[in-house]
Structure 1
Amino acid sequence: MAVSDKDFVFKMVSDEIQRRMSTNTLPWRKPWSLSGGSHQQAVSWVSGKPYNGINRILLDAGEYATFKAISQAGGRVNKGAKGTTVVYWKIIPRTVTEEDGTQRTVRTPYLRYYTVFNIETQTTGLELRWTGGEVVRNVRPSLIAADVVRLMANKPTIQHGRGDADYSPSLDRVQIASPSNFRNPESYHSTLFHQLVHSTGHAARLNRPTVADNPAFGTDPYSREELVAEIGASMLVAMCGMDFRRTMDNSVAYIQHWLQYLRNDPRAMVLATAQAEKAVRYILSMDALEDDVEISED
């Protein structure tokens, strides 16, 4: 089923994230692979393409397909299996007429949704296509994380020494305590990644309003930016192969603050995840995905 009612889809996704967060489980702390090892990702059984954006959070690792695709391939969905809703942006070109009579084509994004099932656990009669082997890492995750920081193009100044951590848009500078002050490498890199995600919002990079406009502490834009930074940092920690369980030091009060924000704005998680993934791709110097679109917050 597909609809273009964005508010309905936003609320559906927001309700699911709130349900998971209510158990103090942060659903974006998942093992995604930096090297492309699809065993650590949710991928399409039909194409092998990894799911992106909010779908990374909604789906566990594995291969997924729609009921129609499963049936057409000769498989069947197990009795009682409950599918998972995933969302995507469909671009519809349309022609608009300007006041002077000239016409131009604009690309309008419509938010759609559909239901998928896990091939391995929810279907019968089909074999996995893309997730057969395990990726064996020979490099320590902390060294991979250090390389991510070192190789980030157009990165801000990183200054060590202070006891707290913050990013200053006006100075384009990250300040963070020395690595030895953290209880483990995961905590250090998680904190640094959090600030580097903030820095991608600078006007000289992705020009994200929640950074470039320097919103006041406690405002909705500030809260939205903190959500972007937490999701992006968690993605990077997991993509580097680190034990993300060692960085789950978020306080219950902070999580509850996010829950309240989600209740007030059901769009928050979809938009924040899209912006976080864009920030991660910037930090990793990854090419933009072909189906990536600018998502309006209007």
Structure 2
Amino acid sequence: MTKQQQQLAEEFVTLLETEQLEWKKGWSGISARPYNPVTGTVYHGVNRFRLLLTAQALGYQDPRWCTFHQIQQNNWRLKSGKGQSSRVEIWMPYDRELKKWITWEEFREQGGITERYCLRTKSYPVFNGDMIEGIPQLEVTLQEVDPVELVDTISDSMQVPIVYHETDRAFYRPSEDRIYLPNREQFFSTYDYASTALHELAHATGAAHRLNRKLTGSTSQESYAQEELVAEITSCFLSSELPVQQTEEHIRNHQAYVQSWIRQIREKPESLVRAIQSAEQVSNYLEYHEKRITWEEYQKRVGEVQSNTPSEEKLPEKHPQREEKERMDSILKDVPDFGTNQKRRIVAVESTKDYEDPDFTPNRYNSKGSGREDYYRVVGIQEGGWYVEPVEDKIYHSYREAEKAIKATPAWKQISYDRLIQESGKERTRKLEAREKIRTEVDNLEEKISQLKEKQGYLKQLLKECEENPKLAQARQQILEYEKSIGRMESCMKEAGEAELLAYAKQCEEYLAFGESVDQLTDVLKTKEQMSMREAVSVCKTPDLLQKAGCKPLPMHMSQQHLLDCMHPKQKENAHYHGLTKAEIKKIPEALECPVILAESMTRKDTMIALLDYREQNGNPLLVAIRPNGKALYQVEQIDSNFIMSVYGKDHFQNFLQKMIKEDKLIYIDQEKGKRLGYFGKEIEQFAFKDKEILKQISSQTVEKGKRIGRHL
């Protein structure tokens, strides 16, 4: 038992002792299963129980939980984290010899659990969405729930009959596999009835042919208490998944067993963990039999690993898993889907008081010839949802007759007339919205078709080239892949000839290799695998223009740490975070081929600055800081490199440009491109030189210092 589980047991006992534990809540139809909105992780077992316990103790209403790092990454803000967090724990591989965590890939390569390698739990704090400012508003889907229909669906699916009798006792009898309940009219409300029935259905899951818990028939208070503890925690889980509401009777039962639970958990804290695991199984089982989740999802939840689970086609004919699935399929095929109304049509009783219709009043006067007589008929929403219409050609002389006819017809389900009118209006609104959406989609589709027709000639020519020249087709595909990766909407090589296409495709191959490194790096971060931040990635070969400016013909690199800092969301507290997108980063190798400006750095004598020909998403020109003729740690070796220190958007660029001119730092200027991009104007015209001419080379001092400092990377 872990330290975190021990603490959880103590917290649970404290709540029991202070009588603060009640899962009682209203039936809102809102699913509140704890989850992480950033990773999509849905918490299970002990983590799920701990988070629900914390939410109850602190009054949280939001089911979302995030780490502090995730809050910072998304530019959200924690209101006041002190004493407001909970903890979750995960299993991770651990190297006993080196005393450090390792990746799952390394763990598998070493053969799994050995004397050296083991699995240990790792815990970290998480904060509820109620405590996070800036987090998107929680999207809530309300669903109306018919409590009786819910109970009937699960009872039929589990094949557990419910017997009603004249008594105030509710119980499950394992020897008969039946549930005994008081008559429905004895309950104060349908909610009380459904809550009681679901509580007993939870006990029924313990039967040997279901989840096979030990259901003793003895009168031992401790044995009963253990099973009631499972039911109590199940109630906690179901309160967030199914519309379960504790009744006063359940709260009295809870109080009756409290002392037994406290004693048992204090003596054997692991009994709480076992109860949580059983309760997780019970809630998943009931969700499956409510047809909320599929068989595959149910199997996944109860812990079957996909890679180790044989597919149904490969199972032996007598395999228990196949037999259980076939048994459940045969039961569930005859059980109506809960909440879909496939079995019963919603109807109501309409009278001549509600609606004036000549066809509805065949005889406006009673048999004595005087006085208006009211008539009744059964109506429902027309197929298609536009208006209310009669569901049969029959008129009744009393409301009771019409209601009796509804009860005698299994395909009908009665609701109030007012609610039926409301549902008809809702359905009509939904249909109109759907029509409008379809109309908009058609307009968009027509616009796309028009665009495709405009490009038809180009596409035909492209197809012809592909058929005649497979090498050219492959080149176009490579160019398309690169341009897509950087978000380029229209190919820059649309009018290029064959030789230009083939040459550019070869360059794209190098650009794509850098792009893959960027993707792999961000993927590793998502999986939280360990990596060396000082290790560099290859960016590109040093372009000719940089070589003319004094750089040696070396490869260019950038450390993983610098790369991640450039893509990290901007923060005032850290000037190294530049908030660039992956697409902006992936453009660097191509942009370095033809920069707008090359200049010596005004702050570091060992650094060259390159101004690129595109802006960051905030509109600032992009600068690349390069250490010429330095060193890079690449594939575990120190190699010579023109090392990229950082990439960032430059604020107040005009002031920066004026200062570079004043201090004579310029090495190269592309005047035409710079003016076209709006980077500068007349202030550059003072330089009398041919366009794209190198003004001067990097000073020897810069090169030598670059070498010296590079050795310490």
1:283 has 2:286 as partner = yes
Question: In 2, Cα distance between the equivalents of 1:111 and 1:33?
Answer: 36
Aligned to 1:132: 138
1:8 has 2:6 as partner = no
Question: In 2, Cα distance between the equivalents of 1:127 and 1:87?
Answer: 20
Q: 1:274 and 1:109, CA in 2 relative to 1: closer, same or farther beyond 3 A?
A: farther
User: How far apart are residue 171 of structure 1 and its match?
Assistant: 2.1
Q: Which range moves more in the overlay, 24-33 or 14-23?
A: 24-33
Question: In 2, Cα distance between the equivalents of 1:180 and 1:216?
Answer: 31
1:178 has 2:190 as partner = no
Aligned to 1:154: 158
Q: 1:113 and 1:162, CA in 2 relative to 1: closer, same or farther beyond 3 A?
A: farther
User: How far apart are residue 275 of structure 1 and its match?
Assistant: 1.1
1:274 has 2:277 as partner = yes
**How many residues are matched?**
269
Please say if residues 191 and 233 of structure 1, whose CA atoms lie closer than 8 Å, have aligned partners that are also in contact.
no
Question: In 2, Cα distance between the equivalents of 1:291 and 1:192?
Answer: 24
1:262 has 2:265 as partner = yes
Question: In 1, Cα distance between the equivalents of 2:186 and 2:194?
Answer: 12
Question: In 1, Cα distance between the equivalents of 2:44 and 2:271?
Answer: 16
Amino acid at match of 1:11: Q
Please say if residues 18 and 262 of structure 1, whose CA atoms lie closer than 8 Å, have aligned partners that are also in contact.
yes
Aligned to 2:231: 229
1:1-298 equivalences under 5 Å are 6-29=1-24, 37-38=30-31, 40-54=32-46, 55-56=48-49, 57-60=52-55, 61-62=61-62, 63-88=64-89, 90=91, 112-121=122-131, 123-124=132-133, 126-128=134-136, 132-140=138-146, 142-151=147-156, 153-161=157-165, 163=167, 164-208=169-213, 210-211=214-215, 214=216, 216-218=218-220, 220-233=222-235, 235-236=237-238, 239-241=241-243, 243-244=245-246, 249-251=251-253, 252-285=255-288, 286=293, 287-288=297-298, 290=300, 292-293=302-303
Please say if residues 24 and 246 of structure 2, whose CA atoms lie closer than 8 Å, have aligned partners that are also in contact.
yes
Q: Which range moves more in the overlay, 278-287 or 19-28?
A: 19-28
Percent identity reads 25
Please say if residues 32 and 238 of structure 1, whose CA atoms lie closer than 8 Å, have aligned partners that are also in contact.
no
User: How far apart are residue 189 of structure 1 and its match?
Assistant: 2.2
Question: In 2, Cα distance between the equivalents of 1:220 and 1:245?
Answer: 23
Question: In 2, Cα distance between the equivalents of 1:52 and 1:216?
Answer: 32
Q: 1:139 and 1:32, CA in 2 relative to 1: closer, same or farther beyond 3 A?
A: closer
List alignment gaps of at least 5 residues for structure 2.
56-60, 94-103, 305-713
Q: Deviations over 1:116-164 (max 9, x none)?
A: 112331x44x423xx5233333444x2453344345x233232221522
Amino acid at match of 1:154: M
Q: 1:276 and 1:110, CA in 2 relative to 1: closer, same or farther beyond 3 A?
A: farther
User: How far apart are residue 230 of structure 1 and its match?
Assistant: 2.7
Question: In 2, Cα distance between the equivalents of 1:70 and 1:14?
Answer: 29
Aligned to 2:100: none
Aligned to 1:3: none
Q: 1:114 and 1:270, CA in 2 relative to 1: closer, same or farther beyond 3 A?
A: farther
Query: Counterpart of 1:127 in 2: which secondary structure?
Result: coil
Query: Counterpart of 1:113 in 2: which secondary structure?
Result: strand
Amino acid at match of 1:241: P
**Whose radius of gyration is greater, 1 or 2?**
2
User: How far apart are residue 27 of structure 1 and its match?
Assistant: 5.0
Question: In 2, Cα distance between the equivalents of 1:29 and 1:53?
Answer: 20
User: How far apart are residue 175 of structure 1 and its match?
Assistant: 1.8
What TM-score, normalized to structure 2? Answer: 0.33
User: How far apart are residue 79 of structure 1 and its match?
Assistant: 4.5
Please say if residues 169 and 202 of structure 1, whose CA atoms lie closer than 8 Å, have aligned partners that are also in contact.
yes
Question: In 2, Cα distance between the equivalents of 1:167 and 1:109?
Answer: 40
Q: 1:80 and 1:70, CA in 2 relative to 1: closer, same or farther beyond 3 A?
A: closer
User: How far apart are residue 58 of structure 1 and its match?
Assistant: 2.6
Amino acid at match of 1:262: I
Amino acid at match of 1:19: T
Query: Counterpart of 1:284 in 2: which secondary structure?
Result: helix
Please say if residues 190 and 247 of structure 1, whose CA atoms lie closer than 8 Å, have aligned partners that are also in contact.
no
Q: Deviations over 1:160-212 (max 9, x none)?
A: 2152222222222222222222233333222222221111111111112x22x
Please say if residues 200 and 207 of structure 1, whose CA atoms lie closer than 8 Å, have aligned partners that are also in contact.
yes
Question: In 2, Cα distance between the equivalents of 1:116 and 1:30?
Answer: 24
Aligned to 1:99: none
Larger relative contact order (C-alpha < 8 A, sep ≥ 6)?
A: 1
Amino acid at match of 1:155: Q
Output the aligned Cα RMSD. 3.6
Q: Deviations over 1:225-277 (max 9, x none)?
A: 11112332454466443554666532533323322222222223332122112
Question: In 1, Cα distance between the equivalents of 2:221 and 2:245?
Answer: 32
Q: 1:33 and 1:292, CA in 2 relative to 1: closer, same or farther beyond 3 A?
A: farther
Amino acid at match of 1:46: V
What TM-score, normalized to structure 1? Answer: 0.72
